[in-house]
Amino acid sequence: QFETFLKRLAKSLPESDPMKKQLDGWRHEDNSVRMFRYLLEENKIDVSLPRKSSRKAPALALTETDLIFIEEAIMGTKAPDRKGRPPEKHFLYEIVNNIESGLDVDKLDYLQRDMDRALGRKDATFERLSLAARVCSVPANPAAQDSRDWKNLSLSQQPAGLSEEGAEEVRMVLCYPEKQAGEAMEVFGHRNSMHDKVYQHRKVLAMDEMVTDAL
């Protein structure tokens, strides 16, 4: 992985090298945000202007808050620091970079791509798991969970926060059916397998070392 390679490169640089500090703190999420901003600025895209509408998609314009949300979703911003969406919409952050469970489209996308390209595995699509995702309300404090059947509450049944005086505080999250717990675990099994067979394979690490020496 490129991020791992850069960290290894940073370790090989002397403390006096100004690039060492930049590489030490490099994250691909940070670079993705920079690319997003660059694309808007370089192409002079004014997101406040409505795009052309069609029968399937109405004309929409983005606000500054929308841009903040996009960047926060990419970065995996923690709940207390989120400004792009109110608490009842925080489940949206779990789609791109899920800091709660690690199940997000970023991970599913690169796993499907790499398993196809590196191992010829075209069967790992994760489509069934993605289609099963639902927005549910759960206790904001898991330790305070009582006997209520939280997993069966729908989005319309319980808003986030304290909806009424004395009501239990809840939050909205992405959930999956209990019967698909095995499939969810397989995602992390595939990730571990890819690290063993590809990302951290001894030949890949050896190539990292050779490129690092060349640089």
Quote the pLDDT of residue 153.
43
Tell me how many degrees the CA angle 99-174-111 measures, rounded to the nearest 5: 60
Matching residue, tokens 């899920």: 98
Q: Which residues pair with 161 in a beta bridge?
A: 170
Query: pLDDT tens across 128-156, in order?
Result: 888 999 999 888 776 555 444 444 444 44
What's the pLDDT at 151? 46
Separation between Cα atoms, residue 136 and residue 152, nearest integer Å: 8
What's the Cα-to-Cα distance from 46 to each of 36, 43, 62, 158, 193, rounded to whole Å? 13, 9, 9, 37, 43
What is the tens place of the pLDDT at every residue in 33-77? Answer: 999 999 999 998 888 877 666 666 666 788 999 999 999 999 999
> Which pLDDT value is given to residue 142?
62
CA–CA distance, 178 with 197 (Å, rounded to integer): 30
Task: Choose between 62 and 5: higher pLDDT.
Answer: 62
